[in-house]
Structure formats: structure tokens, C-alpha cells
Amino acid sequence: MTELPLIGEAIAVAANPKLAGAKIGVVTFPGTLDDRDAVRAVRLAGATPVALWHADTTLGDVDAVVIPGGFSYGDYLRAGAISRFAPLMAKIIDAANSDARLPVLGICNGFQILTESHLLPGSMIKNDHLKFMCRDQVLRVENNTTAWTGDYAAGQEITVPLKNQDGQYIADEKTLDALEAEGRVVFRYVGFNPNGSRRDIAGIANAAGNVVGLMPHPEHAVEVGFGPESLDGVGGSDTDGLGFFTSVLNKIVGDNK
Amino acid sequence: MTETSAGSITETKKFNIDTVENAAKTPDVELPWAELGLKQNEFDEVVKVLGRRPTGAELAMYSVMWSEHCSYKSSKNHLRQFGDKVTEEMKKDMLVGIGENAGVTNLGDGWAVTFKIESHNSPSFVEPYQGAATGIGGIVRDIISMGARPVAVMDPLRFGAIDHPDTARVMHGAVAGIGGYGNSLGLPNIGGEMVFDSVYQGNPLVNALAVGVMRHEDIRLANASGKGNKVVLFGARTGGDGIGGASVLASESFDDTKPSKRPAVQVGDPFAEKVLIECCLELFKGSLVEGIQDLGAAGISCATSELASNGDGGMQVELTSVLLRDPTLTPGEILMSESQERMMAVVTPENIAAFEAVMDKWAVEYSWLGEVTDTGRLIITWEGEVIVDVDPRTVAHDGPVYDRPYARPEWQDAVQADSFTGSVQDAGRPSAPAELAAAITELVASPNMCDKSWITNQYDRYVGGNTAMAFPDDAGVVRVDEETGLGVALATDANGRYTYLDPYHGAQLALAEAYRNVATSGAVPMAVSDCLNFGSPEDPDVMWQLAEAIRGLSDACMVLGIPVTGGNVSLYNQTGTTPIHPSPVVAVLGKFDDVARRTPSGWKEDGQAIYLLGTTAAELDGSEWSNLRGHLGGLPPKVDLDSERALGEILINASRDGMVDSAHDLSEGGLAAALVESALRYGVGARIALQDVLDRDGVDLFTALFSETQGRAIVSVPRSEEIRFTDMCTARSFAHVRIGVVDAEGGTLEINGVEPMNLDALREAHEATLPKYFG
């Protein structure tokens, strides 16, 4: 009988032994909310999820890391500003910048933590309409060469939930121009800009493409019956977000060949 | 040392501590019992119970615990019916009944579910953001206290007239507060209600429901057992907020003659609560607590007296050990403070180290206050001097109980005789095709029937990854077991207008609708929680409404076979002598063996047959249509609980056996509202012809569309299932008639005799209302 898993507890092991050998860490900070969801997404993609705790001082042998959404430390300072100083973040920053280029995905609050950590440029401020917004959002995959987007076609449109209060992406014009020129705008809002983000930017990558951050939540579009199509009937599918996790798995398994 | 250094505040504070010894020596000291909300007879009773005058600290405790909000003194005699009118059959799945923090129902496979609905009305009027936010916080802590992981919240809201300037203040604040707190806890908000009516102008209703799940072995109760076990307070520090919230704010009517009660509203910290949830679950997992109680209304007074009286009966507590945000608080204020995000637990000496390790991991502050004794007394000391020495039962359970006088109001007959049909407001009833189309558009754009996504888009419905259905479908559905798909459905309903016209049947109609909503989603109804929002019990008219509503609700629960497992009573919801409409909000919980079988409310597949289940009578009194025309009178729709049960069984079977692809219940706004909502859900129209309904039921087209006759639903049935479905209805002798087909191509809702309605135009009308008023 399964127990009700405590937050971050990885409960099941994937069926495909080759994929299951891939370990993807999911970090929990105080106030993290979507960590169990990220664990589920990793599991459904076929990998083995590993629960990581913000105060840990080692990453262990994980092959990639997801920093999930939530309100770490309540977002009472600037979102992500405190979490960025967690002992584990120092390890993640080092691993992301190392020659091994550890794949790191920051979702929502995770994206905010990555910008605060200077793994990604720019910052997020309050939505232009000043309200929390939960909606199903169409995104265009602008770059399918990152560690987290290889399974999508360039220009593919996907629908995943978006839910945040501080989702307006900003950076100075020079940075924005550089991101565009280097192809580092990975996702753009299509049809509707839900928060006033500059140039409709929903997600970006670092120069090497191993670190990706975005405000929408791909881990909430990974399971039939629980995604945007089932909840809101918006068309598309329930599982458009699964590609993030299969992409990184294919990369890991490919790299380890 | 176990008390953290910050807990030592006594050196900065010098009080004239009113000890028990002092109280015995100075019987004639004047005490501020009236300011604290006690009546003369109640104060006299305290003196009699103690055999002396109370100390200041004891007076604080009795005043909050004997308040209407905490003691249910006006409603207790009536609420007994929820426990009395219960059959053995109704008890079979009830693991914990009324009286604990929340009832617990068996879901099977070793799973249990706990849910409860509560009010946070008065604070939400005074300070909408914090009032609504802490309403979520409080109900979530009730759920944690049972040993459960909270998995979802819902919020039924009732505000004043949509165009009144103060409504925007309450609306913006309350919705932002519910979102700000609930979203930060990682709990999906899966549904609720939004009603606008000027009767709620000075008394908005902000009710909050939370649901949690646990394994059977994890059920925890609030009791302090085992002499020598330690009592610990953990979570946020105790501050000056919410002092007297229960006794003064929630148990009095508002009027303009008293100063602002803002200091009585608590201030929430959702981050602290989120950490508290995880920390408590880790404590439960390690079996590190013997008993646990959340701190809500009446704070430490409530937690200590309830834990002690439910356990071995004794507890000794040193009050200076309480960690404070404000070092100037007096002992009485510390006992009464309703600071949020606090829990009290009883821990065996062997588990102290493990308990502290969990606290340290989550960086939660805690302080050891004392221990469980077998003396039968609750002793509270201040630097060792006894300031409280009471039998905890007298504080927690033996408060005053009133048999308040009640009588059917003199005006009730006149109201019931004033039917909408034939009234001045009924003049010019729509009948031509264009008039009917305009009437339907007006209805679905009206404040109560319009699209509510302005509200629900401010709530996270996805977090947790287990939401299988959410607003605006008939019920919210959450998966409990990821392997089997076992899950629960929840719906809340109330109709203040129906209940005003006839409290007995109005309360039953609320239950019937919530029951129908749950069954429409495909779940089997199992349990009920209610939040009874009424005016002043000191008004015999209001007391009659309350008595009738409780009698009606408990009778109906017997017929439907589902027990009330908990709830809350909110009285004094009135401005001056004008009470709100009696508003019993009823929540029904249902069970799915597999949430994959849930039935959504919208049409999708072209060509599916649409059936109307149930018959239609001319029942427009109290309806949304009559409300739009400014009329309230007559008798509410007839209640037929046997028919509701039969309809429920059909909808549940149809879901289980895959016979229907969509189902939507008919309630406020009748068939007209249901057809438009089913069309707009996924933007798929239909072609409808109601001639068979008109012929069979002897009603005209307007009545067929706008009547609010109960026990009805519409379903869409795949062609391949039509014979099986109609055979089932025939075998159960349940009225059913094919009224049309789903039309995915036309982009219109066509009803014979009504001018065709373009879905885009309908959507625009439906969605424009809330943004128009609230931005």
C-alpha cells in the first residue's frame, strides 16, 4: 500500500531501466509548492526522481536538477532572493557552470531563483495587472536545442498552465537584444501576454543551453486527465509539458552512451 | 534548555498579576466582563462555578470560550438533531463525527477524508484581505489537526449589491486574500459560489472549506493524555492581533456607534502556515505527538481547555514561556490572542528530541509550556504564581446553553402569499422569440449567473497535480490515490432567497443542490458539512429561521442517507435590526472509485443526444428571474428528496458505466442557464426543441426555460449509449426526454421558439459583468 508521500518523496521507479538510471533532482525550499508535481513529472517521463533539500550540501549523483515553483520564504523579500543563498544553490550554480554543464530547469519561483542566482539574466516583477493569474497559456518553442527542449519542434506551440503573481520578465534593452541575437529566448507567449513580460518572453536559457527558466508550469501538463485540456477544455492536450522532461532524459541518456 | 531565550520576557514586563490567591481575597473588585462580551447571568455563573470571582486571566478565558462563536450557546439545543437523526447505515463510514476539529469519513483502501466548512464573515467585512486570508488559514489548520494532508480549498462568497461602492472594496480584498493565502499554501481552489445581494451589504459572507486526506492510522484527535507528557506550542509567535475576535467581533452585530474593530482581526502569514503543514505531517509520520490542536478562535484559552478536558483532565502551563511578538501583552491578552499559524501538541518525554529535530529542520519556533496532569484542573501560572485554576470542562464544554425564544415571524404568511406569477414585476413576461433570447442573455449576464473567472483565475487550480475537475463544473474533484484513481468530489450550495421564503425547505434545497452537484459529477455522496449563516439569535424571527433550517437539514440528511460530520454556526450577521437572508451553506462530499470517471458539464462531441432528466413545474418564486425583476415572495421550489436520490443514482451509474459524456444540474437560472453554461464551457452549441417537455409538463416555453424546479439535470449521451441510457431511466421510472443534439459546427445555441443565440455574443455578455464592475 502506498503511503501518502511527504513532500518531495520520490515513490516510484520507472519501467525502462535505461531511463530509470537517470536521476533527476527536485529541490524543496521552505515554501516550495510544486515539488511533488515536478517529482511526478520526472517519474512519468521515465526517470528516477531524487528529493533534494535546500540545506543539503551535496547534489549527490543527480544527472539534472529541477527547481520547482512556489513561494519560497513566502516571497516576502524579492521572489527567490533568499533561496538563492541556500547551501544547495551554491552547488547547483557550480555544477551548472562546470564543464559537465548540469542541466537545470527553473519553473516559476525556480526561474526567479535562477535569475537571483545570476545563472540567467533579467528579473521578474509583479504582473502588469497586479493580480495573481491562473490560466492555460499557449507558448511557442523558439529554441529546441537546449537541454530541456530537444523533443519539441522549433516553432511548436504548446499549452501549459501559468500561475503566478510576479511573472513580468524584465531586462535592459541591451540584454534583451543579446538574448534574441543568441537565440536564448526559449519560449514566447502566444496570443496573450499574461503579465506584461518584455517582448512576450516566457522563458530563457543560458548561453550553453543547459540552464532554462520559465514562468509557466510544464509539470502541470504531463498527465492525461489532469492538464489544461481536461480541466478547461482549451484544446491541445493534457501532456504538452512532458517534453521538457523527456528532452532532458534523452540528453542524459545520449550523453552517457 | 528547552525554552528558547527569546521566550523569557518577564524581565521587561511588570504587571500587577491578578492571582487566584488575590481573587479569593478581593471578591469585590470590579471586572470588565461586559466589555469582554459576557452577560450578567453568565458572569454570575462563572463566579458560581469557581466559588469566587475569576482572576483577570480566568475572566479572559471564560469570556472567549463562552462566546456565541466558541460555545454555540444559542444553537446547541438545535444542533443536537444532526447527531440524533442518524441511522446505523449513515454511521458506517463515519470514522470521527461532530465535535472534533473536523469529521472523518472512510474512503476505503485504508484512506480517510476529512473536510469542514467555516465562516470568517465579520473579519472579512472589517478587513477583507486579512479576514478572508485567515479564514483559509484557520480551516486548513483544523484539517491538519486531524492528522490529514490538506488537498484542496473552496470558498462560497456572498457580497452586497454588485453596483454598491463598498462591494468592490470587499470583493477585491476578500478574493485577493483567499488567493494570496491559499495559493501560497499550495492548495488548489476547486470551487465555491459567488452571490450578490444587497442583504449582505454590511454583512458579507466569506465561508471557507478545506478537505484533507490521510491513512486510517494517521487520524489524530485533540486530547491531552498521559500524565507527565509535555505540552508544546509551536509555529508563529503570539501577538496582539485578533484579541477578542471570537467574543466581540463574531458575536455582536455591527452598528455605527462603536469604534472600529480592526485590532480584533488577525493577520495571516501563509508562508508560516505552509511550513507548519509540512512540519506537522512529518510529526505525524514519525508518530511524535499524542494529541494536537490548532489555535483558532480563543487561541491558547481554547487549546489548553479543550486538550485538557478531552484527555486525562489536567494540565499545568507556565504562560511566560509563550513566545511573543509583542512583549507588552498581558496574561489575559496572551490567553485570548488569535494570532495565526500556531499549533499546540502533547509529546511524550521520549519524543522530545525527535520533535525538536523536526522543528529545527523546518525552522519552526516552539516553546515547552508545561505538562499533562491527572488533577482534573487546568492550572496556568505566571512566573510560578497561579493565575488560572479551573476545571477545564467548565471552560470548554459547560458554557451556558440558551433556549432562545423563537416564533414564526408575523410577516412570513404575507411573504409566502406574494407570488411572482401575476405580480407587478411579472408584467410583460417574455414570450416572442426575440424577447426570450434577450431574456436568456440578460440572465446569464446577471451578477449571480455571470462567468466567475475574474475570481477563479486569481486562484491556483492546478497545484498538487491531482485536480481532476474544478469550477465552473458542478463539483470540484481531487484524486487521492495516484495508483487507483480513488478520489473525492465536493460542492457547496445555499440559496438565501429560498431560505427566506421557507427556512425548513430552503435549507433542504441547499442540501439537495449540493447533493445533486456531487452526483452530477459522477461521485457517490457520502457526508455533509454545513456553515449556518444567520442574523441575531436574540431576534425570535431569526431564531425561528435557524431552528427551522436545522430541523429541515437534519431531516433531509436522514432521507438522503448522508450524515453531517461537522460545521460551524455564524450568528449576528445583521446590520442594526436587519438580518441577512438566512444562509445555510451546505457542503457535500462524494467519493469516486476512479476520478477518471468524472463527468464534466460541457458539451464536446457533435451529434450527441441531449436529455433533460426530471419534470418541470411552474416554479418561479425566489428564482433568479424573479430576482432580476426585483421580486422576492411566494414559496420556493418543492423539495422531493426521493426524486433527488433517484436522479443521483442515474447520474452516478451513467458516469460509472460511461453512458454520458457531460452532465449539468439545473438550479438557479433553470434550464436556460444550464443550456448556456454547457455550451460556453467548451464553446460547443446545440439545437434544442422543448415541445415534448411543454406537452408533457403543461408549461409554456418561458416557464420551461426559467423555472427552478428541483431534481433535474441535462446530460449528453453518445449515440451508441442512447438505448442503454434510456432503458436505465425507464427501468427506474425516472422522467427523461430527448431535447436536442450537440452541434459543434454552428457556433450557436438554437432553441425552438427562441431566436438563435450566437455563442460568441453569449460569451461576451456572460464574461463582461465582473470585469465591468471590478476592473
CB A61 within 8 A of CB A23: yes
Tell me whether residues B465 and A6 touch, CB distance under 8 A: no
Going by pLDDT thresholds of 50, 70 and 90, the confidence category of residue B768 is: very high
CB B565 within 8 A of CB B94: yes
Sole residue written with cell 503573481:
A165
Tell me what the pLDDT averaged over chain B comes to: 93
Beta strands in B163-311 (DSSP E): 189-196, 205-215, 230-235, 291-294
Q: Could you say which residues from 231 to 290 on chain B have a Cβ atom under 8 Å away from some Cβ of chain A?
A: 269-272, 274-275, 278, 281-282, 285
Q: Which of B110, B176, B275 sits opposite A31 (nearest CB)?
A: B275
Neighbours of B172 (CB within 10 A): 15
Amino acid found at A155: G
Residues of B in contact with A70 (CB under 8 A): 186
The ipTM estimated for the assembled molecules is: 0.93
B467 at the A interface (CB within 8 A)?
yes
A134 at the B interface (CB within 8 A)?
yes
CA B269 to chain A, closest CA, distance in angstroms equals 8
Neighbours of B737 (CB within 10 A): 19
Give the pLDDT score at B5: 40
Amino acid found at B407: A
Residue B622 CA from chain centroid, whole number? 23
Residues of B in contact with A76 (CB under 8 A): 271
The torsion angles phi and psi of B629, rounded to 5 degrees, stand at -90, 5
Going by pLDDT thresholds of 50, 70 and 90, the confidence category of residue B221 is: confident
How far apart CA B307 and CA B123 sit, in angstroms, is 26
Residues of A in contact with B218 (CB under 8 A): 4
Q: What is the per-residue burial (b if ≥16 Cβ within 10 Å, else e) of B494-529?
A: bbbbbbbbbbbbbbbbbbbbbbbbbbbbbbbbbbbb
Give the pLDDT score at A256: 61
Residue B676 CA from chain centroid, whole number? 28
How far apart CA B2 and CA B21 sit, in angstroms, is 29
Tell me whether residues B274 and A31 touch, CB distance under 8 A: yes
Closest residue on chain B to A109 (Cα): B184
Residue A186 CA from chain centroid, whole number? 12
Q: Which of A33, A40, A233 sits opposite B186 (nearest CB)?
A: A33
How far apart CA B293 and CA A195 sit, in angstroms, is 41
Q: What is the per-residue burial (b if ≥16 Cβ within 10 Å, else e) of B574-606?
A: bbeeebbbbbbbbbbbbbbbbbebbbbbbbbee
B468 at the A interface (CB within 8 A)?
yes
How far apart CA A249 and CA A242 sit, in angstroms, is 11
B287: left (phi over 0), alpha (psi -120 to 50) or beta: left
Which residues fall within 8 angstroms of residue A52, CB to CB, at 6 or more apart?
A8, A25, A26, A27, A28, A59, A60, A62, A65, A88
Give the pLDDT score at B222: 75
The torsion angles phi and psi of B287, rounded to 5 degrees, stand at 50, 50
Going by pLDDT thresholds of 50, 70 and 90, the confidence category of residue B35 is: confident
Catalytic residue among A54, A108, A116, A220: A108
B204 at the A interface (CB within 8 A)?
no
CA A182 to chain B, closest CA, distance in angstroms equals 34
Whether the link from the prior residue into B472 is cis, omega within 30° of 0, is yes
A134 labelled catalytic: no
Range scoring the smallest mean pLDDT among A230-244, B195-209, B398-412, B559-573:
A230-244
3-state secondary structure B428-491: CCCCCHHHHHHHHHHHHHCCCCCCCHHHHCCCCCCCCCCEEECCCCCCEEEECCCCCCCEEEEE
Residue B222 is placed in which grid cell? 485533540
Residues of B in contact with A4 (CB under 8 A): 149, 213-215, 218
Per-domain boundaries in chain A: 17-255
Mutate: best of B361, B462, B483, B603, partner A, most A CBs <10 A:
B462
Number of residues written out for chain B: 775
Neighbours of B265 (CB within 10 A): 25
| DSSP-based three-state secondary structure for B318 | strand
How far apart CA B589 and CA B487 sit, in angstroms, is 10
Catalytic residue among A116, A142, A219, A229: A219
Tell me whether residues A220 and B274 touch, CB distance under 8 A: no
Amino acid found at B636: P
- pLDDT one-digit tens code per residue, B250-275: 555 554 444 444 456 778 899 999 99
How far apart CA B75 and CA B78 sit, in angstroms, is 5
Query: Cα torsion for B371, B374, B375, B377, to the nearest 10°?
Result: 60
Give the pLDDT score at B297: 82
How far apart CA B157 and CA B132 sit, in angstroms, is 10
Give the pLDDT score at B10: 40
CA B275 to chain A, closest CA, distance in angstroms equals 6
Residues of B in contact with A1 (CB under 8 A): 109-110
Residues of A in contact with B271 (CB under 8 A): 30-31, 71, 73-74, 76
Mutate: best of A76, A159, A163, partner B, most B CBs <10 A:
A163
Question: Does B16 score more than 80 pLDDT?
Answer: no
Nearest to B696 by CA among B636, B738, B751: B738
Question: Does B84 score more than 70 pLDDT?
Answer: yes
Question: Does B12 score more than 60 pLDDT?
Answer: no
Q: pLDDT of chain A along its 257 residues, tens only?
A: 333 333 333 344 445 667 778 999 999 999 999 999 999 999 999 999 999 999 999 999 999 999 999 999 999 999 999 999 999 999 999 999 999 999 999 999 999 999 999 999 999 999 999 999 999 999 999 999 999 999 999 999 999 999 999 999 999 999 999 999 999 999 999 999 999 999 999 999 999 999 999 999 999 999 999 999 999 887 778 999 999 999 999 999 887 64
CB B386 within 8 A of CB B369: no
* Alpha helices by DSSP H, A50-153: 87-97, 109-116
Query: Cα torsion for B355, B360, B364, B369, to the nearest 10°?
Result: 50
| DSSP-based three-state secondary structure for B507 | helix
How far apart CA B52 and CA A143 sit, in angstroms, is 79
Amino acid found at B43: F
Structural domains of chain B in order of their starting residue, each with its CATH number: 68-396 (3.90.650.10), 415-450+599-775 (3.90.650.10)
Neighbours of B635 (CB within 10 A): 16
Tell me whether residues A226 and B362 touch, CB distance under 8 A: no
Number of H helices and E strands in chain A, helices first, is 7, 11
A74 at the B interface (CB within 8 A)?
yes
Strand bridging mode B230-235 / B314-318 = unpaired
Superfamily of domain A17-255: Class I glutamine amidotransferase (GATase) domain (3.40.50.880)
How far apart CA B590 and CA B490 sit, in angstroms, is 6
Q: Is the dihedral of CA A62, A29, A149, A43 positive or negative?
A: positive
Residue A66 to residues A136, A213, A217: CA-CA distances in angstroms? Answer: 21, 10, 12
Residue B674 to residues B440, B468, B518, B706, B751: CA-CA distances in angstroms? Answer: 11, 21, 16, 10, 13
Q: Could you give the count of Cα atoms lying within 13 Å of B670 in the half-sphere of its Cβ?
A: 26
- pLDDT one-digit tens code per residue, B580-600: 999 999 999 999 999 999 999
How far apart CA A149 and CA A141 sit, in angstroms, is 8
Which residues fall within 8 angstroms of residue B428, CB to CB, at 6 or more apart?
none
Residue B493 CA from chain centroid, whole number? 10
Q: Is the dihedral of CA B460, B464, B465, B470 positive or negative?
A: negative
Number of residues written out for chain A: 257
Give the pLDDT score at B264: 65
Q: Could you say which residues from 595 to 654 on chain B have a Cβ atom under 8 Å away from some Cβ of chain A?
A: 595-596, 600, 602, 604
The torsion angles phi and psi of B359, rounded to 5 degrees, stand at -60, -45
Amino acid found at B509: L
Catalytic residue among A54, A116, A142, A217: A217
Mutate: best of A132, A223, A230, partner B, most B CBs <10 A:
A132
How far apart CA B179 and CA B129 sit, in angstroms, is 10
Neighbours of A164 (CB within 10 A): 27
| DSSP-based three-state secondary structure for B669 | coil
B700 at the A interface (CB within 8 A)?
no
Tell me whether residues B458 and A133 touch, CB distance under 8 A: yes
As a whole number, mean pLDDT of residues B606-633 equals: 98
The torsion angles phi and psi of B349, rounded to 5 degrees, stand at -55, -35
Decide: residue B400, CB within 10 A, 0-12 exposed, 13-18 middle, 19+ buried: middle
How far apart CA B144 and CA B273 sit, in angstroms, is 10
Tell me whether residues A135 and B457 touch, CB distance under 8 A: yes
Decide: residue B222, CB within 10 A, 0-12 exposed, 13-18 middle, 19+ buried: buried
Residues of A in contact with B278 (CB under 8 A): 6-7
CB A115 within 8 A of CB A121: yes
Give the pLDDT score at B54: 95
Give the pLDDT score at B263: 57
Sole residue written with cell 449509449:
B721
- pLDDT one-digit tens code per residue, B488-500: 999 999 999 999 9
Q: Is the dihedral of CA B275, B294, B289, B61 positive or negative?
A: positive
Nearest to A242 by CA among A160, A176, A129, A165: A160
Tell me whether residues A231 and B466 touch, CB distance under 8 A: no
Give the pLDDT score at B243: 76
Residue A172 is placed in which grid cell? 535592459
Residue percentage of chain B with pLDDT more than 70: 95
CB B102 within 8 A of CB B116: yes
Catalytic positions of B, written as ranges:
69, 120
